[in-house]
C-alpha cells in the first residue's frame, strides 16, 4: 500500500521521535498510515475523520487511545476529533500545527502507551522516570 503521508514530514518526524522514545516501541504501516506499537498500537499518524458527510483525509494529526474521561474532555476542543475506524475503540485524534504543545503530545502518547504496552514495558518507563 502506498504511503498516505510524506515519511519525512517534520511533524511526523517529531511524533516518531516521541513515540519511538518509549520502551520497546516500534513503527509499522497500517492502512498506509504510520502506527506506533509495542504489542498493540498506541498511536497513529494522519488518520482521517468525518464532519457531517465530508471526510478529511490524512490530516497532520496523531491519534491516541485514552481513558473515557480524558478522551471526552479532549473531544470538547476544536483541534480534536474522532478518527475513522479506530474512534469506536477509544482513540481520539489531535490536529498538530505550529501552536502544538509538544509536552502535551508526549504526555498523550505516554498515556496511550501505558494502556497498550505490557507491564514489563510500563515498568521500564516508570523506572526511567524515577532515574531522571
Confidence at residue 90, expressed as pLDDT on a 0 to 100 scale: 95
> What is the pLDDT at residue 7?
87
DSSP letter at 83 equals: B
- Determine the pLDDT at residue 113: 98
pLDDT of residue 2: 55
In angstroms, rounded to a whole number, what is the distance separating the alpha carbons of residues 130 and 74?
A: 28
Contacts of 64 by beta carbon, 8 Å cutoff, 6+ apart: 42, 43, 91, 92, 94, 108, 109, 111, 112
Which cell numbers in the block locate residue 107? 504526555
| Cell triple for 4 | 498516505
Q: Domain range for residue 64? A: 10-125
27 inside domain: yes
**Per-residue DSSP letter, 28:** E
Distance, in Å, from the CA atom of 65 to the CA atom of 42, rounded to the nearest integer, reads 6
> What CATH number did the domain enclosing 45 receive?
3.90.1150.30
- Identify the pLDDT of residue 58: 87
What is the structure's pLDDT at 3? 61
Question: Is residue 5 domain-resident?
Answer: no
| Residue 1 maps to a domain | no
Q: How far is the C-alpha of 90 from the C-alpha of 104, rounded, in Å?
A: 18
**pLDDT tens digits for the chain (132 residues)?**
456 788 899 999 999 999 999 999 999 999 889 999 999 999 999 999 999 999 999 889 999 999 999 999 999 999 999 999 999 999 999 999 999 999 999 999 999 999 999 999 999 999 987 765
In a domain, 24, yes or no: yes
In a domain, 130, yes or no: no
Number of domains composing the chain: 1
Chain centroid to Cα 7, Å, comes to 16
Amino acid at each position: 500500500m502506498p504511503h498516505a503521508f510524506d515519511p519525512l514530514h517534520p511533524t511526523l518526524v517529531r511524533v516518531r521521535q516521541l513515540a519511538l522514545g518509549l520502551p520497546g516501541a516500534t513503527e509499522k504501516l497500517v492502512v498506509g498510515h504510520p502506527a506506533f506499537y509495542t504489542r498493540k498500537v498506541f498511536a497513529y499518524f494522519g488518520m482521517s475523520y468525518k464532519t457531517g458527510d465530508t471526510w478529511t483525509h490524512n490530516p497532520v494529526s496523531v491519534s491516541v487511545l485514552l481513558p473515557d474521561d480524558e478522551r471526552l474532555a479532549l473531544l470538547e476542543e476544536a483541534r480534536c476529533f474522532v478518527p475513522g475506524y479506530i474512534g469506536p475503540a477509544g482513540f481520539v485524534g489531535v490536529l498538530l500545527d505550529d501552536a502544538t504543545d509538544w509536552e502535551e503530545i508526549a504526555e498523550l502518547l505516554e498515556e496511550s502507551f501505558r494502556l497498550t504496552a505490557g507491564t514489563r514495558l510500563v515498568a521500564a518507563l516508570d523506572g526511567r522516570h524515577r532515574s531522571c
